[in-house]
Structure formats: structure tokens, C-alpha cells
Amino acid sequence: MSTMESFTPIASTIGGLLIGTAAAGLLLFHGRIAGISGIAGGIFRREAGDISWRVMFLVGLFAAGAAWSLFYPQDYVVEISRSTPALIVAGLAVGIGTQLGSGCTSGHGVCGIGRLSKRSTVATVSFMITAALTVFVVNEVLGGSI
């Protein structure tokens, strides 16, 4: 797929507005940051009264994706050119990174930068630089073979 075929400014703008509205609503009405790794990780901490909203938030994420797939199944056609071990290592690296960075791109990038947090800005810039370097090393240095 060429870059122009995947250029979707209207859908992207609507999606961004929905994400921003959901993040702002969670912060405004519940005083919580919409950081997905923190929300998911909090389920395992088992603090009284703190699990149900987390479960409902995650169920909503999956339900919205499932509902969208009923109308636009072509949006879920994915081709992965990496090996299963490479995907496992990548997933573990992301999980470890979210713990080391005290959050993920949704918490820092959407909510933190939106709150003008210097810490979140530094974290998000670090995520993006690391991602770019990782793609370069895997594709150009290692030849995309993993």
C-alpha cells in the first residue's frame, strides 16, 4: 500500500478527537489518566474499588474494535513479516519499557503532553527516538531478518 492510499485525514481527525475526548473525560470526571498500560496493569494490583472502571475501559476498547470490524473488516487485514520469536521479544521490550518509563504513549503522549507535562514530553520523545532507531537497526543493519 502506498503512502497516499493510507492517507486518511478525516478518519484520523475523527479518531484523534474521540481519543482526546475520552482521555479528557476520564481525567475530568474520574481524575484518571488514560494510559493503557497503567490501566491494564492496575487490574493486577487488586485495590478495592479500583478494578471495575479499569475492566470497563478495556472492554470498551475491545468492543469498539469489534464493532468497527463488523462494518469495515478490511481495516483488520494485517500482514506481519516478522517471526513469532521477534514479536514476542518486541512485546516484552514494550512491556518492560512501559514499566521503566512509568507509562506508555497513550498516558505520556496523549494525556501528559496535553497537560503540558515536561516529564511526559521527555518520555514521549524518548519513545519516538527509540522506535525510530529500532526500526533502522532491524531493517537496515540486520536486514529485516528477525
Q: Where are the domains of the chain?
A: 9-141
Q: Cite the DSSP H helix spans in 78-117.
A: 84-100, 113-114
* pLDDT (tens place) for every residue of the chain, 146 residues total: 445 567 888 988 998 899 889 889 988 998 888 888 888 888 888 777 788 889 999 999 999 999 999 998 988 888 888 888 888 888 888 888 888 878 887 888 888 888 899 999 998 998 899 889 988 888 888 877 66
**Would you say 124 and 113 are in contact if contact means Cβ atoms under 8 Å apart?**
yes
Burial (CB count <10 Å: 0-12, 13-18, 19+), residue 114: middle
- Cα–Cα distance for residue pair 60/34, rounded to 1 Å: 13
DSSP 63: H
Position 80 scores a pLDDT of 83
**Would you say 52 and 59 are in contact if contact means Cβ atoms under 8 Å apart?**
no
Q: What's this model's pTM, rounded to 2 decimal places? A: 0.73
